[in-house]
A and B are shown apart, each in its own frame.
Chain A
């Protein structure tokens, strides 16, 4: 039914008002094979209905036969619309110009974008876009004039960090799809020979050499900077006493020394800790004030002045942005100040508590690596009076002290 409506709209239809013996009129028209629809009976001798435009011309004859009067109420559908539009030459011209310009403009590239499935690590979008520009891909050129394979090849050659480039278009947007080359991690890249040297003073406990020539033994005392494992492998003096003269003379080899050298390391630190401590606790009372800050002085707008009613307080000052006026910059600032009342709490520590606190503070400050094993610790109270204590902490750990150092 809806489809039928659509067809009749395309072919055009006429709304007619017929007066007279309407039944006769209807019967005549259906006998002639005319399809009528949406018949509405207004009075007993007056109907309104719709007929296809094609059948309209026969109506006159039918109306004459039935003795009815026919009035056209409306003409609807594409043919009438088209006839109306045909008179408006400029509109057609405009529509034509619009479609043509749309077509022409859409055959250009207006935007260039870079897309990468993974986050770009070595390159920036701009770099790729600049390279593409040099290769001939830039906004404002005809889509058909872009040599896609050439641009792809040129970008790949210009940027060695790129493994693959795909160029495609989405409307007026050119999208450069990029896959970055995976560059091997530094561990593999860095093949420069190096030593392992001691990072701290200590006594060697354990040696595990993966590469290189160990120089120290278990039990040796080493100083910071001393070579533990050498990256220089000097060939052992050829032992060709038993006629094994064919052994080729090996050359000195440079390797990247690797290994784990665990050593006993001591840390000593002295710390002073006060037995009395003042802390401020906010009571929850607060008051707010607004100031206008003019270059020469502060003007209180609202609220208590700087000296609030609180005995002890902490103040917070915030600049409230003033509405921006065009061209004029106001030479003043609105400041919102919030005062929090605080009560002063004095804390007294026992000596034992203070020692624990001091130890904790020392532990935090010592550069003990996470994988170090603490073997022993010793606390000495060096000084103690009513005001403060002085504590010395000695910590003994076993840890890996090997630090790589390039060979000059």
Chain B
């Protein structure tokens, strides 16, 4: 384990315990994604790290701890901004891969 990784790991732990103590949302203090699914028609991912693959049937979106794979039909990115991505269409499967 390199020194850099140890620092990163410690900061992560501190962030998590801070979030627990102060009862704050984890995605704010820690750099993790928040995925919201509304029925089968909308998926919102906050704190994403960019798109890996984009077609109307399959989307792969990189998040801090891995990637989110969304399969469906006629999917459209309603909006995309540095911190939030909004997907709508017929969502069939949402997969979080680490």
Q: Which residues of B contact A330 (CB under 8 A)?
A: none
On chain A, the number of residues with a Cβ less than 8 Å from chain B's Cβ atoms is: 19
Write the nearest CB–CB distance from A387 to chain B, whole angstroms. Answer: 101
B80 touches A30 (CB 8 A): yes
Q: Which residues of B contact A41 (CB under 8 A)?
A: 54-56, 75-76
Interface string of B41-52 (1 = CB under 8 A from A): 000000000111
A17 contacts partner chain B, Cβ-Cβ < 8 Å: no
Interface string of A20-36 (1 = CB under 8 A from B): 00110011001101011
B79 contacts partner chain A, Cβ-Cβ < 8 Å: yes
Bound complex: CA A35 to CA B82 (Å): 8
Interface string of A34-65 (1 = CB under 8 A from B): 01111111011001010000000000000000
Interface string of B76-88 (1 = CB under 8 A from A): 1111111000000
Instruction: Using C-beta atoms within 8 Å of the partner chain, give the interface range for chain B.
Output: 10 to 19
A30 touches B53 (CB 8 A): no
Write the nearest CB–CB distance from B77 to chain A, whole angstroms. Answer: 4
Q: Which residue of B lies closest to A46 (CB)?
A: B55
Bound complex: CA A49 to CA B76 (Å): 10
Q: Which residues of A contact B77 (CB under 8 A)?
A: 36-39, 49
B54 touches A30 (CB 8 A): no
A35 touches B79 (CB 8 A): yes
A22 touches B82 (CB 8 A): no
Q: Give the interface centre of A23, A31, A35, A38 by most chain B CB atoms within 10 Å.
A: A23
B51 touches A26 (CB 8 A): yes
B80 touches A37 (CB 8 A): yes
B79 touches A23 (CB 8 A): no
* Given A30-B81, A30-B82: A38 in contact with B76 (beta carbons within 8 A): yes
A23 touches B82 (CB 8 A): no
Q: Which residues of A contact B50 (CB under 8 A)?
A: 23, 26-27, 30-31
B81 touches A38 (CB 8 A): no
Q: Which residues of B contact A30 (CB under 8 A)?
A: 50, 80-82
Residues of B with Cβ closer than 8 Å to A?
50-56, 75-82
Residues of A with Cβ closer than 8 Å to B?
4, 22-23, 26-27, 30-31, 33, 35-41, 43-44, 47, 49
- A22-B54, A26-B51 given. 7 additional CB < 8 A pairs? A23-B51, A26-B80, A31-B82, A36-B80, A37-B78, A39-B76, A41-B55
